[in-house]
Structure formats: structure tokens, C-alpha cells
Amino acid sequence: MSLDVREAGRAAATPARPRREITTAFVVSRIAVLAVTAAILLYAVPPLVAAESWTALALLCAAAAAVACLYLTRRFVPAKYLVPGTVFLLAFQVFPVAYTVTTAFTNFGDGHRGSKAEAVTAIEAGSVRQAPGSPEYGLTPALRGEELVFLLVDPKTKQVSLGTADGLTPLAGAELGLTGKVVAAPGLTVLKAPEAAARAADISAMAVPTDGGLIKANGLSRAVEGRATLTYDAACDCVRGDGGTWAADEEQGYFVNARGEHLAQGWQVNVGLDNFARALTDRTISGYFLGVLGWNVIFALASVLGTFALGMAVALALHHPRMRGTKVYRIAVILPYAMPSFAMLLVWRDLFNRDFGLVNQMLGAHVDWLGEPGTARLGVILVNLWLGFPYMFLVTTGALQAIPRELTEAAAIDGATPWRAFRRVTLPLLLVALTPLLISSFAFNFNNFNAIALTTEGGPFPAASPQVGSTDLLITYTFRLAFGAGGAQFGFAAAISVFIFTIVALISAVAFRRTRKQEEVYA
């Protein structure tokens, strides 16, 4: 719109170029988009204030100001178009990739999710045991002036004690209710249930020191004398307690004792290239890698070429001028694409069941489709073909409309057979438009987790190697390694993702380069 401003000066001298007409729809959509942005920004303010994260708040304000500057003035026309795309690129492409790569250098995963401080808290809290022989006190929280105190009733002797941050002292003159709770006590305000609940956080923070440990509230109506059997000692950066000493090991993110055993709770540490090294040196991974990669490439190629061939064949058939009832056929063909693939994959798995599946019943066969390597591979490719060809049909139909019929007619006049006309004219022109889609379809199928995980789960597995199945793709195989046996290992999974990303990026780069050459020939 700055264009308008510049033109305004010249408007008198030269005939004005037609100005962009400001339609109602334009204004309304702009107001709507800005209102939504403003609403989101305003919505984010209260939680940020509550969390006292002022930096984030400042960023939020800056973002709001920037959006306002950009879209409420007539300046920065190129930025108006570039900024949304750039923001989405950063948020949905650059950030996830950067996050995955940084995670690959840590041991983030089960047992190593939080910080060291959190691990220490968890270790100490988890080690608190009830002091042997101590009573299970009935608890009545009360106020002495403004100070929160505990009125503790020994259930056996009915003796009432006053628990404060200084310790436990017997209390005389308290009046007990039927349930064993204190109803009234001299000089104290007894808290009723709702009042106590309102102070729940203070009550759980309160600790009454005793000789053997601490009396802490267990809920709002009971208190227990507990003793931490493990305590962290900052001086030696270790955990001491019953059963020995565990020293912090910053390389593993665990507290480890002299025998090499570790406490269950660990923390997240930087492990450098360990995850990458493990992927390369672990024999259960590297030993099967080439086999899995080979099948993975075959699966992706077969899926793309199969769906493309079938989709194109159907599209060509329906494109024929003498074809009747194309609408009905088109709807029928698109159906597999319109159904949720999740459900369809599960249905197909059951159709392939040897004894109860429809496939065997219709064929009168007794084939263990998903139980033998060969048939299982054929099976998953067939299922993927069924799921994928409507997409190829759609895009090919679109591309066919753009190829002028005169070209094929001219070829026919020149004496070319229909097959030759297709090979020499239609297909090359189609490929110019569709190759980028084929490449992205290849990348998608290369990582088609659902197609395998929901049908064969990677199986059948040879008895001798339960880690890797015949239909495993790299993604399902590594998913099992990273999330199967040892709980969730996000760091390791991220390292593997980096490897898979590299492979797919390489293949795609080569393919795109070749397409460009092809375009130069035909365009």
C-alpha cells in the first residue's frame, strides 16, 4: 500500500494505475485476523503475569506492537506478506528441527526427565518412611494468632499435643469431638474443613520436628511422623542414607554407589555424541541397519510407483472423452482417501487374518498373510496402494486438465499409436508437474509409521532376532528401540531422527536435482 502513497504524488501528472479496490470482505477479514491475534495475545497475559515471567511478557508486548505496526499502517508492504510465512516457518520447521537436534545430545528420557534438583527432591521425598512405632495422629489444623499450628491427637491415648515449627508439646484443655478431631482448644482458633482446605499448601509445607524425624500432614485429617532414609549432602554432592553413599555422576545423570548401582531417580545431562555413537556401534542396530534400509527404500518406491501407476491409469481412463458416468466413478475412487486411514489400516490387518480374515475366505486360501515375511511385505504394500492411489488419481486428474488435447490429437494425426502418444507426450508433461509431488510422497512413505505400526507392527519376527521384523521400516524399528525396551529414550530417538532426516534429505536432494534437468528439457 506504500505504492499508493508514492503514486499519489504523480497522480495528477500521469494517469493513475488502477488502485487495489478495498472490498468489504477484505476489511472484514483483516479485522477478524487482527482481532484473533489480539485475543490470543491478551489471553496469554494473565498466566504470564501469574508466573512472573517478565521477559516473556515483554516479548509478547513487542510482538503485539509489531503486528499492529505491520498491519495497521500502509508501510512495509513486502513484510506484510513475508512475516506470517516466516513466523510459521520458524515455529513449525526451524524450531522443531533445532529442538530435536539439541535433544539428541542429551539423555532426556524416562528416569532422566527433570533437573538434578528435582531428582534430589524426589529421592528425599520417596525415602520418607513412617518412624517405627510412632502413632498415626489425628490432625486438626489451627491458628495461634496468625501462625499455623497442628493439633495432634494420639488415637490410642487420646492425648492432644500441639505441634509447631519448634516442636511437639503436650496440650491440656482441648475438647475432642466424636470423630477424634479437636473441636476447641484454649487460645487457638480451630480450622474447619473448608478453612483448612484453603490453607492446604501451608499445611503440606508445615513440618513439626521430633527426635526421630518430622511430623508432616498426610492429607488434612491425619499426620505421620516420618524419617527420610536418604538425604542429599551438598558438601560431597552425594546422597547418604541407609545402605551407603551414592555419589553424583554428571556423565550418567545418576547417583551411583561404589558397586556401580544407581538410585532410580536421575536427571537430564548432556551426553555429547553418545546417542549417535550408540546408533553406529550397537550391534543390534548396525547389524540390521542395511537390511532394514533396503526394505525401507523398496517399500517407499513400491508405494509411490504403485500408487502413481494405478492412480494415473484410473485418471487416464476417466479422462477419456468417451467415458460416461465419470462423476460416479470419481466418487467411488476417492472413497478410500476419504476414510480415516487409522481405522482402515486396522480393518485391513483383520482382513488378512489367516483363519478369520475375509481375504483368505474369498480366495479359499489358507495363507498366513502377515505371518510370513514375503506375504507380509506384499500385504503392507497392497494396503498402502489401496490407501494411496486416490491421492495420485486426484493430482493426475488435475494435471491432465492442464495438458491441451490438441497435443495428443496432433500426435495421433502424425501417426503415433495411443501408447506412443502417452509415452512421448502425455507422460513427460505430467511428470513435469507431478515429480515434486512424487518426491514428497516418497519422503512421506519412507517414514510411513502408521502403515506398518497399525498392520504388522514390524512383524513377522524371525525367532532368532526379536528386535527386528521383516516389514520394519527405519522409523518403526527405531521407535521400538527408543520407546520399547527401556522406557522412553527421547535423546536416543532424536539422534536416530537426525540420521533418518539426513537419509531422506539426501535422497530428496538428488531427486530434485534430476527433476530440474528434466524440467529444462520439457519446459
Residues from 94 through 113 that contact another protein (CB under 8 A): 110-111, 113
Find the binder of another protein among 266, 306, 311, 388 (CB under 8 A): 266
Is 491 a residue that touches another protein (CB under 8 A)? no
Q: What is the number of alpha carbons within 13 Å of residue 105 lying toward its C-beta? A: 6
Segment interacting with another protein, rule: CB under 8 A, options 127-135, 244-252, 303-311, 422-430? 127-135
Number of residues that bind another protein (CB under 8 A): 87
CA 477 to chain centre: 18
Phi, psi of 106 (to 5 degrees): -120, 175
Residue 34: CB partners within 8 Å, gap ≥ 6?
Answer: 67, 68, 71, 72
Q: In angstroms, what CA-CA distances link 312 with 31, 389, 430, 500, 507?
A: 44, 8, 10, 30, 24
Is 57 a residue that touches another protein (CB under 8 A)? yes
Closest residue by Cα to residue 182 from 162, 197, 165, 166: 162
Is 466 a residue that touches another protein (CB under 8 A)? yes
Dihedral angle, C-alpha 155, 160, 163, 167, nearest 10 °:
-100
Q: What is the number of alpha carbons within 13 Å of residue 155 lying toward its C-beta? A: 11
Find the binder of another protein among 56, 198, 277, 331 (CB under 8 A): 198
Between 36 and 89, name the residue whose CB sits nearer to another protein: 36
Find the binder of another protein among 224, 316, 454, 496 (CB under 8 A): 224
Between 216 and 439, name the residue whose CB sits nearer to another protein: 216
Is 373 a residue that touches another protein (CB under 8 A)? no
CB of 224 to another protein, least distance (A): 5
Find the binder of another protein among 3, 36, 38, 343 (CB under 8 A): 38
Between 220 and 425, name the residue whose CB sits nearer to another protein: 220
Q: For residues 479 and 484, what is the distance between their CA atoms, to the nearest angstrom? A: 7
Is 258 a residue that touches another protein (CB under 8 A)? no
Whether 137 contacts 143, CB under 8 Å: no
Residues 390-429 that bind another protein (CB under 8 A): none
Q: For residues 367 and 126, what is the distance between their CA atoms, to the nearest angstrom? A: 54
Helix (H) or strand (E) holding 193: helix 193-198
Is 72 a residue that touches another protein (CB under 8 A)? yes
User: Helix (H, G, I), strand (E, B), or coil: what is residue 84?
Assistant: helix
Segment interacting with another protein, rule: CB under 8 A, options 63-71, 79-87, 307-315, 515-523? 63-71
Between 418 and 466, name the residue whose CB sits nearer to another protein: 466
β-pair type (214-217, 207-209): antiparallel
Q: In angstroms, what CA-CA distances link 202 with 34, 141, 223, 368?
A: 44, 10, 14, 63
Find the binder of another protein among 2, 204, 361, 502 (CB under 8 A): 204
CB of 140 to another protein, least distance (A): 13
For the chain, what's the residue count? 523
Find the binder of another protein among 28, 65, 309, 505 (CB under 8 A): 65
HEC string for 250-286? CCCCEEECCCCCECCCCCCCECCCHHHHHHHHCHHHH
Find the binder of another protein among 17, 19, 30, 129 (CB under 8 A): 129
Is 271 a residue that touches another protein (CB under 8 A)? no
Segment interacting with another protein, rule: CB under 8 A, options 68-76, 85-93, 245-253, 510-518? 68-76
Is 379 a residue that touches another protein (CB under 8 A)? no
Grid coordinates representing 128 are 520418607
Is 484 a residue that touches another protein (CB under 8 A)? yes
Q: For residues 425 and 407, what is the distance between their CA atoms, to the nearest angstrom? A: 7
Segment interacting with another protein, rule: CB under 8 A, options 58-66, 84-92, 406-414, 423-431? 58-66
Between 200 and 323, name the residue whose CB sits nearer to another protein: 200
Find the binder of another protein among 16, 36, 49, 363 (CB under 8 A): 49
Find the binder of another protein among 131, 207, 220, 228 (CB under 8 A): 220
CB of 388 to another protein, least distance (A): 23
Is 116 a residue that touches another protein (CB under 8 A)? no
